[in-house]
Amino acid sequence: MYRKSLLAVLISSSLLLGCDSETVVVEVEREVIVTPPPTVDTSAVVLTDLDTVYGYASENGGTTGGSGENRVEVVVCTGEQMIAALKNKDPQRPLTIWVNGTITLQNAKDSRIDIKDIRDVSIIGLGSQGEMAGIGFNIVRAQNIIIRNLRIHHVRANLGAPGDGISIEGPASNIWIDHNEIYNSLTVDDASLTLDQVKDYYDGLVDAKGDARYITISFNKFHNSWKTSLVGSSDSDNYERTLTYHHNHWYNVNSRLPLFRFGKGHIYNNFYDGALESGINSRMGAVIRIEQNHFANMKNPVMSMFSQQIGYWQLIDNIFENITWEPGAAGSVIANDNQSTGELLVPYDYQQSLIPVQQVKETVLRYAGVGKIETPPSPGLCPAPEPEVAVPEDPTPPPVPIDPVEPPANVDWNIYAADLEPFASNAVTLADGSLGQFAPQQSGGAAEPNLFSANGDGTVTFDSTASGSDRSRAKLDSVIAADGVYPKYFTLLMGLQGNTDNQRIIETEIAFGDTEGSAGSRLKVVFRGDGSNAGIQLENANNGSSITFGKGNEPDAIDMTQYRVYHFTIALSSPTTGNIAVYIEGNNTPLGVLEGVTMRPASNASDNYLQLGDAGNSSYKGDIDWVLWTDAGAYTPAMLKGLLPNGIGDISGYDN
């Protein structure tokens, strides 16, 4: 571009006419060349090939799913049909399942869709009609799996399933999750729930745990989620996971974008628009290549926080727009100086799919989500579900958990007096007078450390503060009758001393498995001493939500640093439902009561145990004075006055 300007030139007349002559100004017009700034292209890139797998899923032989000349194709309208197609798959032939309607818990007659012990499968929505409403996928011991073009949403946590939109549990490899829309909700229509309970109401959108490798997650919409994408379930979940995230749209989410422990990640050409707490969280030595992404309107897009070890990242040509950088907890690393802390060279070619960072936003907005890929035409809408046939009422109503109202004359207690560490021989006296002991557990095939130590004064200290990622659990089997008869009852009392270090105290879990039943439940109690979160937390016990009694920031807060007797009663009307009451210090007025709730599912229907310790990921410290339990009844403190064994320790509130 040219611009004309006038150049004023002063010519001294002394040079031309002598010193006494006046100065003459001569204006000369010149043409000056001005180079314009380069134009930045922010339009969408036109993409013509959306069916090629890039990233880690292209390695290890590639990911083809259910494609192939000899493939079997099935169109499904219900979850039952999908489950049957997976169950009946010919192991020698790839399987493609076309989803032509809405899959629900009701038409699946199950809590999840298992893609388990299987390979060479594609599950793809037809057009824009494929939907998973309230039910997710559980990928376990599977290889060469593709999930595309589906809306997956509102998958509740703790309904007998992992609770994720898509859960990948290793060993699993060559997984391609592409062109889906996966979401939950940041709110729950229940005013009685606390914020923590709302956060736990749903789980992750896409999570990968254990030995999960060669995974690509591309062109998805992720939104309205507290716990968006988790890679590695805990600081002890140590596997060399390899995942690629590209061209995804993340918006209206809280955190975990993703949370990545161990292994290697490649995150490129994603558009992040809004995150309440944080973005990419690299932890436990993970190395992530973060390349040509557009981050907008969020806090801490890249960081390492909340693990025993930090993770690392390589930042390459990213856009940071309207970003807030805030310092984290002690030991955290925040990428607010836009400096790389590591380097990752990926083994695959992805340059054909890498687009200029200025065009990421519009390209992702145009192509991410469902209805963007070509699929066969729908064979027609799925038939409307048949109306449910009314079932005549059973004249005999099912049993309800009516808690005992008469005090027992005596109680045959099971006793752990904590004179010895729980793994020691004869540490436990059972109700029939025999002696036993708790068994140590394993994590990832390795024996867990013993973090219990006897103090010589009739108490045992549990301390996992040296490494919060360590698990250490003492487990005793067969603690409740497994006879298929309901109602069932259970009473548990524990004499515990907390700590003054602002740490959690201990976890206690009871599983009520029944060999005669088809389902099982459990109660997990976390004794917490950590500030405003202190109190007695019942994890996922309140119809799938967690609840804390005596919480540190509430009017009925209790001082968890002190010694006291904690008392729990459980009355089960079925393997999965019942009443729970919590008492402290022998007070017959409950600290909290749950009535007619769906219990937290057991990992296996037959699980039947009492477990003490730490299941990992947090630090615990506390002293055990004694533990008592019985399945003879659900007894209140008033019923047990004078009925606790002598000589076990401090039984204040129950001694007369």
561 vs 3: which has the higher pLDDT: 561
Distance from C-alpha of 440 to C-alpha of 448, rounded to nearest angstrom: 7
Confidence of residue 587 (pLDDT cuts 50, 70, 90): very high
Using left for φ > 0, alpha for ψ between -120 and 50, and beta otherwise, residue 605 falls in: alpha
Query: Under 8 Å CB-to-CB from 82, ≥6 apart: which residues?
Result: 76, 97, 99, 103, 108, 113, 123
Q: How many residues does the chain have?
A: 656
β-pairing verdict for 452-454 and 460-463: antiparallel
pLDDT of residue 329: 78
pLDDT of residue 393: 53
Using alpha carbons only, how large is the chain's radius of gyration in Å?
31
How far CA 616 is from CA of 216, 465, 499, 527, 531, in Å, comes to: 28, 11, 18, 14, 19
Confidence of residue 4 (pLDDT cuts 50, 70, 90): very low
Which helix (H) or strand (E) covers residue 15, if one does? helix 13-16
pLDDT of residue 253: 96
Confidence of residue 182 (pLDDT cuts 50, 70, 90): very high
| 393-448 tens-digit pLDDT | 545 555 566 667 678 999 999 999 999 999 999 999 999 999 999 999 987 678 89
Task: Specify whether the CB–CB gap between 556 and 591 falls below 8 A.
Answer: yes
Distance from C-alpha of 525 to C-alpha of 568, rounded to nearest angstrom: 10
Distance from C-alpha of 83 to C-alpha of 118, rounded to nearest angstrom: 12
Domain 415-639 has CATH 2.60.120: yes
Third-level CATH fold of 60-220: Pectate Lyase C-like (2.160.20)
Distance from C-alpha of 370 to C-alpha of 312, rounded to nearest angstrom: 33
For residue 549, the tally of other CB atoms under 10 A from its CB is 20
Q: What are phi and psi of 177, to 5 degrees?
A: -115, 110
For residue 45, the tally of other CB atoms under 10 A from its CB is 14
The DSSP secondary-structure symbol of 14 reads H
pLDDT of residue 21: 44
Distance from C-alpha of 559 to C-alpha of 475, rounded to nearest angstrom: 28
389 vs 313: which has the higher pLDDT: 313
> Mean pLDDT score of the chain, rounded to an integer?
89
Distance from C-alpha of 209 to C-alpha of 172, rounded to nearest angstrom: 9
CA contacts within 13 A on the Cβ side of 348 = 22
Return the ∠ at Cα 463 (arms to 460 and 467), rounded to 5°.
160
Q: Looking at the predicted structure, is the pLDDT value of residue 3 above 60?
A: no
Q: Looking at the predicted structure, is the pLDDT value of residue 195 above 90?
A: no
472 vs 605: which has the higher pLDDT: 472
Bridge partners (DSSP) of residue 27 are: 8
Task: Specify whether the CB–CB gap between 108 and 135 falls below 8 A.
Answer: yes
Distance from C-alpha of 147 to C-alpha of 163, rounded to nearest angstrom: 17
Domain extent listing, the chain: 60-220, 415-639
Task: Specify whether the CB–CB gap between 185 and 26 falls below 8 A.
Answer: no
β-pairing verdict for 131-133 and 166-169: unpaired
Distance from C-alpha of 444 to C-alpha of 471, rounded to nearest angstrom: 11
pLDDT of residue 328: 80
Among 414, 422, 427, smallest CA distance to 630 is for 414
Mean pLDDT is lowest, of 328-332, 407-411, 472-476, 479-483, for 328-332
What does the block give as tokens for 355? 């687009």
| 616-639 tens-digit pLDDT | 668 899 999 999 999 999 999 999
N- to C-terminal Cα distance for the chain?
99
Burial of residue 505 (CB within 10 Å: 0-12, 13-18, 19+) is buried
Residue 137 CA, distance from chain mean position: 14
Using omega within 30 degrees of 0 as the cis cutoff, is the peptide bond preceding 487 cis? yes
Task: Specify whether the CB–CB gap between 254 and 196 falls below 8 A.
Answer: no
Q: Looking at the predicted structure, is the pLDDT value of residue 108 above 80?
A: yes
The DSSP secondary-structure symbol of 190 reads -
What does the block give as tokens for 591? 């600290």
Give all strands (DSSP E) within 417-562, no chain letters. Answer: 428-429, 435-436, 439-440, 442-443, 446-447, 452-454, 460-463, 472-477, 488-497, 506-512, 521-528, 535-542, 545-549
Query: Under 8 Å CB-to-CB from 645, ≥6 apart: which residues?
Result: 413, 415, 628
The percent of residues in the chain predicted with pLDDT above 90, rounded, is 68
pLDDT of residue 324: 93
Distance from C-alpha of 162 to C-alpha of 115, rounded to nearest angstrom: 13
Among 495, 414, 421, smallest CA distance to 463 is for 421
pLDDT of residue 118: 97
Among 162, 156, 147, 206, smallest CA distance to 185 is for 156
Residues recognised as catalytic:
256
Distance from C-alpha of 218 to C-alpha of 349, rounded to nearest angstrom: 16
Q: What are phi and psi of 5, to 5 degrees?
A: -145, 155
Q: Looking at the predicted structure, is the pLDDT value of residue 10 above 50?
A: no
How far CA 341 is from CA of 240, 262, 286, 335, 508, in Å, comes to: 19, 15, 11, 9, 40
What does the block give as tokens for 244? 């690629």
Distance from C-alpha of 477 to C-alpha of 491, rounded to nearest angstrom: 16
Distance from C-alpha of 484 to C-alpha of 232, rounded to nearest angstrom: 37
Q: What is the mean pLDDT of residues 289-302?
A: 97
